[in-house]
Structure 1
Amino acid sequence: MTDRVTVQIDGGVADVRLNRPDKLNALDIAMFEALAETGESLAADPSVRAVVLSGEGRAFCAGLDFANFAAMAGDAGDVDGADSARFRRLARDITAREPGRITNLGQQAVHVWREMPQPVIAAVHGHALGGGLQIALGADIRIVAPDAKLSVLEIRWGLVPDMTGTAALIRLTGEDVAKELTFTGRTVDGEEAVRLGLATRTADAPHAAAVELARDIASKSPDAIRGAKRLLNSAGENDLAEQFLEESRTLGELRGSPNQVEAVRAYFEKRAPAFTDPS
């Protein structure tokens, strides 16, 4: 992992920040790798019960680093030798998947947040453009500043969303809105993003609001939270019979478990529950 991403864990909440503020947290190979590695590390940490994903400085993420974009187009430009070579390899075979995964590296930098068992809340301020927006769409919940600027920007460069964005846009906004945003690349502010389904709600201080929500989630049974995320993720993929069976399976696993019993006891004893981390 590099210094492209910082992580602080407190009270079961992982505060993850894109850490390239001088470049508005623009995406390069090192950022892709750091995001994927960070997500995979946190997913495997049973003490982490919720994640807040944000950007340092004036923006959440302004999208692809333009120097890397030049490398993708075949001109190494200002990209350092190692990064240029790695980016060129990715560009030459964009269909190559990460080992054992359904994603390439850029897609995994987003998909890791959706597939991890813990809830992820994106706190968006400033710009979330192109790949930066797609990273936010990988979260379970998005809290955005009213004046944030969000755009499916790829059409400006003659490209398409390629970091799992097409699936996320359809799921969140519906087909017609997803197409309008993708075909035009127009910028929407935080208020419109909420109306369209790109964001969950606005807050003047999105990071503080995200941390508050994460702490609330972290106070609930981690087994139930993980089970709920898994079920809600699969609801659009399973047929009804399989989804209903998965609900029953998950309930069967939870019912009578130590954390479920603790939730009931704490409620009736009017105290804060003391849950154990998943094994």
Structure 2
Amino acid sequence: MKDRVSITMLDDGIADVRFIRTDKMNALDPAMFDGINEAIAQLKETKGLRVVVVSGEGRAFCAGLDLSSLGSDSGSDKSKSVTGSKASTLAERTHGIANRAQHVAWGWREIPAPVIAAAHGVAFGGGFQILSGADIRFVHPDTRCAIMELKWGLVPDMAGFPLWRGNVRDDVLRELTYTNRIFNGAEAKHMGFATHVSDTPLEDAMALATQIANKNPDAIQASKRIFNMMQDATDAELLQAESDEQDKIIRTPNQMEAVFAEMQKRKPSFAD
């Protein structure tokens, strides 16, 4: 992981996660897939984690698949593809409901804390799907984005479809997929792929992370669990989830600390 992804824990329990394969615009080779999945696994187990901020160093967020790695692998099994999975075993679920390649995008949804992405430069193909896995997305207006897979005769298969569902109109998504048209960050915001357009996406993402980190973490994590249900749950199931999560939180020390800190106009101090 260390030569592909870095994790720095900042104040207030904020994890600063960066893609650091700068010589290749953070393109996805087998080691990059491994590094991102290892980072996600580490973050899932990090005590005191409040918010994750994901960004790319260098000229890009992530340029998508490293095509020079197609048909090769960093391990001993040379029959593996760039995703690290044999072509005949993509249907195998290796990471919960996802495979290894899908998990680099879907896995951010499984981290208990909110994940904020900050993108600049390029977010193509798999990189765009990783960006889509974040809870909240800041994008520079000049960021070049694309659902790129059809350019290479492939289907978007890194969790894009379930992540994009509900974010963008169906006909718009179909056109972008069929044509692999490049669009900028401002268009991404207009279409629903991005939350905010910013000239300083990383700085703004960090500011929002600080704000969220000072909220009751129990309530934040419970809200994320409910959000993760919204696409598939019935109204009755969502109503029940609201009540169940609230019963676990109300009158707990962290909930009471949120009330007292607000009334006393001071920074809260929450316990894990």
TM-score (norm 1): 0.92
Q: How many equivalent pairs are there?
A: 269
Question: Does structure 1 residue 161 correspond to structure 2 residue 162?
Answer: no
- Structure 1 stretches of 4+ moved >6 Å: none
Identity rate of aligned residues, in percent?
A: 45
Taking only aligned residues, the RMSD between alpha carbons, in angstroms, comes to 1.5
Question: Does structure 1 residue 40 correspond to structure 2 residue 76?
Answer: no
1:237 Cα shift?
1.3
> How far apart, in 2, do the equivalents of 1:46 and 1:230 lie?
18
1:150-189 equivalent positions in 2, closer than 5 A:
150-189=145-184
1:18-33 equivalent positions in 2, closer than 5 A:
18-33=19-34
In structure 1, which of residues 179, 202, 210 is the aligned counterpart of residue 205 of structure 2? 210
Name the counterpart of 2:237.
242
Name the counterpart of 1:96.
92
In structure 2, which of residues 205, 216, 220 is the aligned counterpart of residue 221 of structure 1? 216
Question: Does structure 1 residue 68 correspond to structure 2 residue 69?
Answer: yes
> How far apart, in 2, do the equivalents of 1:164 and 1:196 lie?
19
Q: Secondary structure at the match of 1:266?
A: helix
1:39 Cα shift?
0.9
> How far apart, in 1, do the equivalents of 2:139 and 2:246 lie?
33
1:80 Cα shift?
5.4
- Unaligned 5+ segments in structure 1 are none
- Give CA deviations for 1:220-248 in whole Å, capped at 9, x if unaligned: 11101001111111112110001100000
1:105-120 equivalent positions in 2, closer than 5 A:
105-120=100-115
Question: Does structure 1 residue 143 correspond to structure 2 residue 144?
Answer: no
The one-letter code of the counterpart of 1:246 is A
Q: Secondary structure at the match of 2:8?
A: strand
Q: Secondary structure at the match of 1:54?
A: strand
- Give CA deviations for 1:191-236 in whole Å, capped at 9, x if unaligned: 1000000100111111111111111111111101001111111112
Question: Does structure 1 residue 275 correspond to structure 2 residue 270?
Answer: yes
- Cα pair 1:30 1:83 within 8 Å, conserved: no
- Unaligned 5+ segments in structure 2 are none
1:115 Cα shift?
1.3
- Cα pair 2:144 2:184 within 8 Å, conserved: yes
1:90 Cα shift?
2.7
- Cα pair 1:13 1:218 within 8 Å, conserved: yes
> How far apart, in 2, do the equivalents of 1:68 and 1:112 lie?
23
> How far apart, in 2, do the equivalents of 1:231 and 1:150 lie?
29
Q: Secondary structure at the match of 2:167?
A: helix
- Cα pair 2:30 2:74 within 8 Å, conserved: no
> How far apart, in 2, do the equivalents of 1:233 and 1:47 lie?
21
The one-letter code of the counterpart of 1:118 is A
Q: Secondary structure at the match of 2:151?
A: helix
- Give CA deviations for 1:148-180 in whole Å, capped at 9, x if unaligned: 000000010011110000111222113122111
- Give CA deviations for 1:121-141 in whole Å, capped at 9, x if unaligned: 110000000000000001011
> How far apart, in 1, do the equivalents of 2:94 and 2:119 lie?
28
- Give CA deviations for 1:44-81 in whole Å, capped at 9, x if unaligned: 11211000111110000000001123x1xxxx5xx656
